[in-house]
Structure 1
Amino acid sequence: MLAYIEEKELKAGDRLPPERELSAELGMSRRALRQSLRRLELEGQIWRGRRNGTILGSRPPTAALGIDRRLGRASPDDILSARIVIEPSIAALAATKASEADLVNIENCAHRTAEAAGDDSWVQWDGAFHLAIAAATRNEVFVALISSFNASRAEGPWRRIRLLAMTAEKRRNSVAHHAAICEAMRQRSPEDAARAMRRHLAAVQTHIFE
């Protein structure tokens, strides 16, 4: 996929061909193509929407239901409080709807977060972990919400607070929480997935504001 993008000299904002054409041109199955596209999406190199197709680059604010501007004005405490309400339900739904490929993507993001050396890498893969769970619900509203949450905590007050508050021990705790969420989703238990996600986000709130 990356070689194709380079060969065609595609840039941010360019639209990729439909999956049927792309899979034929690349000589790969639709399933393999979707896995490649999903990984690129988790890494922030493409974004997809039902009416937009597959676009190179990061998801623009207008594609995230226009809520990014309001989140930009919201306090970190407000955003975390909203996440504690919303994301356990997303995790519960994903536990019942995730495909095997979805579970592999979620677990891969959890592993990459655990291996992250720097703050920027941690934020990228932690955000990708939560976005992969939202994507497993097959609900574009949840995907847009989590994309907006990720964008809000990558800059401004969030970045300053995160650099001051997050220690190596707290990150190890988050890694353990991610593993518990993955296990609950593997067991197809919406109740356990919701409980594990709520515990994780409550711990993040405590770590940041204690």
Structure 2
Amino acid sequence: MIDDKQLYLGLRSPRALLLVQDLLQRMRNGSLVAAMRLPAERELCEQFNISRGTVRRILSNFSEQGLLHQMPGSGTFVTDKATLLLQGAGSHQIASAADPAYVSPADLMAARLLIEPLMPQLIVQNGTVQDFERMQECLTYSEQASSIEEFEHWDEQLHAALATATHNAFFTQLLGLVNQVRDQGEWGNLKKKSLTLQNRRAYERQHRELVEALRARDARAAKKVLTEHLEQIQVNLFQIS
């Protein structure tokens, strides 16, 4: 459970306090969800007219409370447990199969197949240059990943970038629910078993084809690739023949 007072420690500038309030509000209302990257420190400095040292202190406070994860050279990201922490739930509380709130990996994939193919049309309409640059960054890092965990992280970041590029609050909030299920041990075990080198290369190819289609503003081709990608994940996870 987060004590908001800890996030304000050492801060006196009204503009610094405003940044803390803004981050908390956006995390609580769903506009900042798990795996989303925050604007660069320079952008936050300019937006709130505060020094870089103050921005770094604020981000460090959020990181110490488990709300943000700072990755040198990549940026600052909302953690998977941020929503639960801000809602007052314990950071280690994970739904089990006996819990009514439990969502199985099979349920997740079935829902993703129905909903995510709707995203390309919105991305084609609303995606910015910065959105596509972020997608490209995720592609590059995922292909360079040296472990399953690192690849999974950048795979998650790519899907976060896709949701963000819709510029639609429904899809950014949906991403938070997806990541909560992905954070469960059951999903991780299935992914580790299914992520062979051959499957990983197929995912990387599909990711690149998807981003290329979106960059070309070809919603139909992007929808086709995304659907095939999700269907392939479903087959690999559950060994569907």
**TM-score under structure 1 length normalisation:** 0.72
**1:71 and 1:79 in contact (8 A); partners too:** no
Residues 1:62 and 1:168: Cα distance change in structure 2 (over 3 Å): same
Q: 1:201 to 1:44 in 2, by over 3 A?
A: farther
TM score, norm. by length of structure 2: 0.63
Matched to 2:50, the amino acid is E
Show the 5 A alignment for 1:11-50: 15=20, 22-23=45-46, 24-26=49-51, 45-47=76-78
SS in 2 for 1:105: helix
- Measured after TM superposition, the shift of residue 168 of structure 1 is 0.8
The Cα shift of 1:71 comes to 9.4
Q: Taking structure 1 as reference, are residues 16 and 175 closer, same or farther at Cα in structure 2, changes over 3 Å only?
A: farther
CA contact (8 A) 1:45 1:57 kept: no
What CA distance in whole angstroms lies between the structure 1 residues aligned with 2:85 and 2:114?
24
CA drift at 1:75: 1.5
List alignment gaps of at least 5 residues for structure 1.
1-7, 28-39, 48-55
How many residue pairs match? The answer is 178
* 2:229 aligned partner: 200
Over the residues paired in the alignment, what is the CA RMSD in angstroms? Answer: 3.5
Q: How far, CA to CA, are the matches of 1:60 and 1:144 in structure 2?
A: 11
Whole-Å separation in 2 of the counterparts to 1:74 and 1:44: 30
Letter in 2 for 1:25: I
> Larger Cα Rg: Structure 1 or Structure 2?
2
Letter aligned with residue 165 of structure 1: S
Q: Report 1:73-112 matches (<5 A).
A: 73-112=102-141
What amino acid maps onto 1:127 in structure 2?
Answer: E
Q: 2:175 aligns with which of 129, 146, 154?
A: 146
Query: What is the CA–CA distance in structure 2 between the aligned matches of 1:71 and 1:124, rounded to whole Å?
Result: 28
**Structure 2 CA distance for aligned equivalents of residues 84 and 146 of structure 1:** 14
More helix as a share of residues: 1
Give percent identity, aligned residues only: 23
Equivalent residues of 1:94, 1:137 under 8 A apart? yes
Give 2:195's aligned residue: 166
- Uncovered stretches (5+) of structure 2, i.e. residues with no partner: 1-8, 12-18, 24-38, 53-69, 88-93
Matched letter for residue 15 of structure 1: V
Moved more, 14-23 or 131-140: 14-23
Q: Is the 8 A contact 2:45 2:51 kept in 1?
A: yes
Which aligned runs of 4 or more in structure 1 are off by greater than 4 angstroms?
16-21, 68-72
Question: 2:124–2:218: 8 Å Cα contact kept in structure 1?
Answer: yes
